[in-house]
Amino acid sequence: MRITEIREHTIPVSRYQDPAVASGGLTTSLVAVTTDVMREGKPVIGYGYASIGRFAQGGLIRERFAPRLLAAGDRDLDDENGVTLDPFRAWRLMMTGEKPGGHGERCVAVGALDMAIWDAAAKMADLPLYRFLADKLGREVGVAPRVAVYAGGGYPYPHDDLARLSDEIRRAVDLGFTYVKIKIGSDALDQDLRRIDAAARGLASASHLAVDAMNRFDLATGLNVARALKGYALHWFEDICDPLDFATQAAIASAYGGPIAAGEALFSQAEANLLANYGGLTPGRDVLVFDPVHCYGVPGYLRIVETMTAAGWSRDAFWPHGGHLFSLHLCAALGLGGAELTPFAFAPFAGLADGMRVAAGQIDVPQSPGIGFETVPAIWQALQALH
């Protein structure tokens, strides 16, 4: 079997449900991978996108990685039985000639294509992705697994911030979420504490609230914030400083003493190893929020899981960033702790698939073949623009 066509399209994505609120010009790449395998008279097409937060990757996809997939021979992408597409073989072809290091943006381009390839392969097998992946890895999964989730969002509003944040928390709780994550670090500490107080009032307690500093703090500022946050007993304190400044992170983690979340802006097995050895994190307490798409897709993410579990971390510590259906499938297949969902931000990828409901902080995984993008009208409409 062969990949016959790969299309990429760049779209804007916003941190806010209201697109009129300025959001920094974020974009992402949509991709469609068309194969020569036919189902019901149509070619099997896999879809993916470049997650959120790192901008679109059209140049790298079109000029570097898509040509390698399109040049594959008739059997180069087949699985060992010659009956379906093998995403691991496709990944190795994409990485042909790539040197170690330099993870910056190429990891996102590879991850977006990897997502689409897994979607196509699972569709060929007529299985939801979590089942297809678990079978390929020899793992047991339930018939209809449920995944723990939290609502990501809570970005500062330019006007009426506390009132609008409180409303966002209320709506998340109304949808069935029991844990929520908000952003801090873009304003003075006093305002951040007011945001935390406002959000916590809408939840069972502050222990159901996580805060994300988006890697903004230096050592002095981070220590000051850590001291101020200590008494809240927050669910976790995420992305404190520059993601590669492990010394600063370790110092702040030591001073803070509560759960720390890290890994969203780390993209490789080598960086995960540095985090494990020098990041000052504690297995059993802290949280790992690597984004599978930004980590070169499934093969790269599996290497990170292997590295961290070898360093004493349980799979329960993994809570993938990104808020997408792809992460739900990986959580179900790999037995991870849970996943982020974005109920309001980053349209068209906001919200839930048709028929999906959050209950007591958990959600079902889509049962349609592949990832299930077709079950979310807004996503499916956006993906059709690729054709």
Q: Range with the lowest mean pLDDT among 139-148, 163-172, 268-277? A: 139-148
Q: Could you report the per-residue pLDDT of 10-51, keeping only the tens digit for each?
A: 999 999 998 789 888 999 999 999 999 999 999 999 999 999
**What does the alpha-carbon distance between residue 176 and residue 239 come to, in Å, rounded to a whole number?**
26
- The answer on pLDDT for 102 being more than 90 is no
pLDDT-above-70 percentage for the chain:
100
Q: How many residues does the chain have?
A: 387
- Tokens 């040197």 belong to 99
Q: Could you report the per-residue pLDDT of 48-69, keeping only the tens digit for each?
A: 999 999 999 999 999 999 999 9
- The answer on pLDDT for 162 being more than 90 is yes
**What does the alpha-carbon distance between residue 57 and residue 113 come to, in Å, rounded to a whole number?**
10
Q: Provide the pLDDT for residue 352.
A: 82
Q: Could you report the per-residue pLDDT of 343-356, keeping only the tens digit for each?
A: 999 999 998 877 88
Q: Which residues of 156-168 are buried (b: 16+ CB within 10 A; e: fewer)?
A: bbeeebeebbbeb
- The answer on pLDDT for 199 being more than 90 is yes
Q: Which tokens go with 360?
A: 């007591």
pLDDT-above-90 percentage for the chain:
93
Q: Provide the pLDDT for residue 4.
A: 98
pLDDT grade, residue 142 (50/70/90)? confident
Q: Could you report the per-residue pLDDT of 169-198, keeping only the tens digit for each?
A: 999 999 999 999 999 999 999 999 999 999
Q: Residue 340's Cα: distance from chain center in Å?
A: 7
- The answer on pLDDT for 104 being more than 90 is no
Three-class DSSP labels, the chain? CCEEEEEEEEEECCCCCCCCCCCCCCEEEEEEEEEEEEECCEEEEEEEECCCCCCCCHHHHHHHHHHHHHCCCCCCCECCCCCCECHHHHHHHHCCCCCCCCCCCHHHHHHHHHHHHHHHHHHHCCCEHHHHHHHHHCCCCCCCCEEEEEEECCCCCCCCHHHHHHHHHHHHHHCCCCCEEEECCCCCHHHHHHHHHHHHHCCCCHHHEEEECCCCCCHHHHHHHHHHHHHHCCCEEECCCCCCCHHHHHHHHHHHCCCEEECCCCCCHHHHHHHHHHCCCCCCCCEECCCCHHHCHHHHHHHHHHHHHHCCCCHHHECCCCCCHHHHHHHHHHCCCCEEECCCCCCCCCCCCCCCCEECCEEECCCCCECCHHHCHHHHHHHHCCC
Q: 339: closest CA among 359, 361, 356?
A: 361
- The answer on pLDDT for 232 being more than 90 is yes
Q: Range with the lowest mean pLDDT among 262-266, 338-342, 348-352? A: 348-352
Please, which residues have CB within 8 angstroms of residue 84's CB and are 6 or more apart in sequence?
A: 1, 78, 121, 124, 125
Phi-psi region of 59 (alpha: psi -120 to 50; beta: other; left: phi over 0): alpha
- For the chain, the average pLDDT equals 96
Q: Provide the pLDDT for residue 20.
A: 83
Q: Which residues are catalytic?
A: 183, 321
Please say whether the dihedral angle defined by the alpha carbons of residues 311, 317, 321 and 323, taken in this order, is positive or negative.
Answer: positive
Q: Provide the pLDDT for residue 82.
A: 86
Q: Which tokens go with 213?
A: 């500093």
- The answer on pLDDT for 200 being more than 90 is yes
Side chain identity, residue 232:
Y
Q: Provide the pLDDT for residue 19.
A: 78
pLDDT grade, residue 85 (50/70/90)? very high
Side chain identity, residue 368:
S
Cα 211–214–215 angle (5° rounding)?
Answer: 120
Q: 278: closest CA among 291, 292, 290, 266?
A: 266
Q: Provide the pLDDT for residue 273.
A: 98
- Tokens 């956006």 belong to 382
User: Region 144-167: what's the mean pLDDT?
Assistant: 96
Q: Phi and psi dihedrals of 86, rounded to 5? A: -100, 105
User: Region 355-365: what's the mean pLDDT?
Assistant: 93
